[in-house]
Chains A and B, each alone.
Chain A
Amino acid sequence: MTWRDFRLVPPIETYPRVVALAQTKTGKLVVLAAFVTMLSRISPAWLPIGSFLVLTTLLPGRRRAVVAVGTVFWAFIWPARAGMSANLLVGEALVFLFGGGLYAASRSFAKSPLFARPVVLLLTLTTTYLAIVGARPGLFRADGLAWAVAHALCNTQWFIAYALIDRSGNPAEPAWKQVGTFAPFWGSTATPFPKGAANWRKIEAGTPEALAVSQLKGLKLLLWCALIEAAHLGFNWVAYRAWGIPSITEARRAIAQNTPFAVGMSWASIFCNFAERLFSLTVFGHIIIACCRMAGFAALRNTYRPLESRSVADFWNRYYYYYKELLVQFFYYPAFLRYFKRRPRLRRIFAVFSTAGFGNVYYHLFRDDHWIQQNGIVSAVRQMNVYAIQCLLLSVAICISQAGRAAPPARGWLRGRLLPLGGVVVSYCLMFVFVDDEFQFPLRVHARFFASLFGIDV
């Protein structure tokens, strides 16, 4: 064994004796107990999640049914206990019924022109509905059923979209199984983790050994997650407390108040912002995927060795895998397969801009539907101008990095790893200048902050 083989968290899923032990009753109990104990330190929902993990472990033949029950629990019972309003629960139920119905109809009437492109139909319906209820602020009561449906639709539309592309799946799944993927108990955002039922079927453990391996990988991932979170806390302490580096919000506020930090401090701020985003997303995604693996679905990680990236496109793939997969599935491939087929370079560029540009903005506009509710659809679209700049920069950067893919990557530590990674990190640090989730500052503040990084005062 060399130092390269060293792993902080040992690869227990590759040890035959451990895998054999994890298939016994005692082994299962130990793995589950260890997992749920760790989970209880980081998730307030550890008890219901743990209970469903026990059920998926004990009833592997009925795993999808257990997950579907978990979806009902997660989407309705748990929020109801937490005090979610009746309208929100009814809105969620209506959208689930709509999703299941659309899936069933798209299968039954697959040859009808209406269902020729079911995802386009879904997105058109969602957009139209949101445009109507959000036509102007206050048109519908914020706590009424119309907005409850809108909110549920925004949160569920990509789950429904994955169900729709699985309508010709083999074997064809009944609608209840597809609806059972809309709010998996291991968690998700508006982005489905780990994609839809077609992917679930591929990664589901089919044997006791595969289940043991999947669970050991889940346990290992959660442990790894705890270490990353510890590093995250350490990083925050050193960067923000010990060194006094301003957060990116403080740096933006300083620009807005005409009291900018020194250029070096501003650069430190955007590097810390990059690290902060990387830590947060990694931990968040690891918890979800660890639970998913424990449930018997050997899903790929959401964030996988991002610091081994060699290009902007590579980083995007490693940083937020399931989001990138969503955009590629529903924007990149459709654009690439249909348009500019005789002009390869334009074809790629168009597909990249459709994805990282248009798709990216579209996703975030509807994910953050509360802005539509608050300000109306027209203002919400206008408000996306800052994020649209980031999407534009990302699209350009991906096009450039794709153009450089034809040649094999350079070898060696410096030219093969460090320099490409440096370029990737700097690119994302600069792009994240235009990511302001709370829309706290107008575009001119972000633009001035960006310019100030290069010593330009505008």
Chain B
Amino acid sequence: MADTELIRGMFGDLLVRNGDLDPFTDDERLFSSGRLHSIDGVEMVMFLEEKFGLDFAELGFDPESIDGVASVAALIDANRR
């Protein structure tokens, strides 16, 4: 739960930096829909590396896996096991 809050907060920050103050849901695809851009993806990658120790150079990077809150939560979950 705490992770989801953290992820939500990060997505919220990225949207605000783009001047996008509209609400979003956990299942929403924020990159595919164009609300966030690939440059924002870099911020998300750094966030996941720092907070959750993910290494995308090893995991392989799939932009789909960071498309929204739910997919990021699933990615973290899958790499904890």
Q: A residues bordering B, Cβ < 8 Å?
A: 168, 198-199, 202-203, 300, 304, 310, 313-314, 317, 324-325, 328-329, 332-333, 336-338, 341, 344, 348, 351, 402, 405-409, 416
Contacts and interface: CB of A to CB of B under 8 A. Distances in A.
A202 B46 contact: no
Interface string B55-76: 0110011011000000000000
A332 B38 CA distance: 9
Main SS of the interface on chain A? helix
B7 to A, nearest CB: 19
Interface of B: 16-19, 29, 32, 34, 37-39, 41-42, 45-46, 49, 56-57, 60-61, 63-64
Contacts of A402: 39
Contact of A409 (B17, B61, B63): B17
27 contacts: A168-B60, A198-B64, A203-B32, A300-B34, A310-B19, A313-B39, A317-B37, A317-B38, A317-B39, A325-B38, A329-B63, A333-B38, A333-B41, A333-B61, A333-B63, A336-B42, A337-B56, A338-B57, A341-B49, A341-B57, A348-B42, A402-B39, A406-B17, A407-B17, A408-B16, A409-B17, A416-B19
B39 A337 contact: no
Contacts of B42: 332-333, 336, 348, 351
A344 B17 contact: no
A406 B16 CA distance: 10
A197 B58 CA distance: 24
Main SS of the interface on chain B? helix
B45 A328 contact: no
Given A198-B64, A336-B42, A409-B17, 18 more contacts: A202-B29, A202-B32, A310-B19, A313-B39, A317-B38, A325-B38, A328-B39, A329-B63, A332-B38, A332-B39, A336-B45, A337-B45, A338-B57, A341-B57, A351-B42, A405-B17, A407-B17, A416-B19
